Amino acid sequence: MKNRLPVENAGDADVCLFIEPYGEDFWMRPADAFQVVPMSDANVQFSVVIATGLITVWLYEDGDPYNAILDYEVVDANGERLTCGHQRPADS
């Protein structure tokens, strides 16, 4: 099984899950649970930065910040693949 990064919004407000280096956004409503799944079979490590209302994730091969993993998908709790802008608020 591939490395996966589970991410859950346990708060009471929407949170943006932001995946770099492409800057793709996936919005999580309260109680949403997503997974970031690299498409690579490499040894993938995740870098996560959290700010109010924002979770930024980088995927790296072998933890090397100069070797970013570019192919990934974000799936919901049912395993459904999400697209960039998922649940994006109209005012963002």
Which tens digit of pLDDT belongs to each residue from 19-63?
A: 999 999 999 999 999 999 999 888 899 999 999 999 999 999 987
pLDDT of residue 1: 54
Is residue 61, in this structure, part of any structural domain at all?
yes
Is residue 87, in this structure, part of any structural domain at all?
no
Is residue 71, in this structure, part of any structural domain at all?
yes
Is residue 55, in this structure, part of any structural domain at all?
yes
Is residue 44, in this structure, part of any structural domain at all?
yes
Average pLDDT, the chain: 94
Structural domain boundaries enclosing 15: 5-82
Alpha carbon distance, N-terminus to C-terminus of the chain: 35
pLDDT of residue 3: 86
Which tens digit of pLDDT belongs to each residue from 53-90?
A: 999 999 999 878 899 999 999 999 999 999 999 999 99
Q: Strand runs (DSSP E) across 20-62, as ranges?
A: 24-28, 33-38, 44-51, 54-61
Number of structural domains (the chain) is 1
Q: At residue 70, what is the residue type?
A: L
Across 44-73, b (16+ Cβ under 10 Å) vs e yields bbbeeeeeeeebebbbbeeeeeeeebeebe
Neighbours of 32 (CB within 10 A): 19
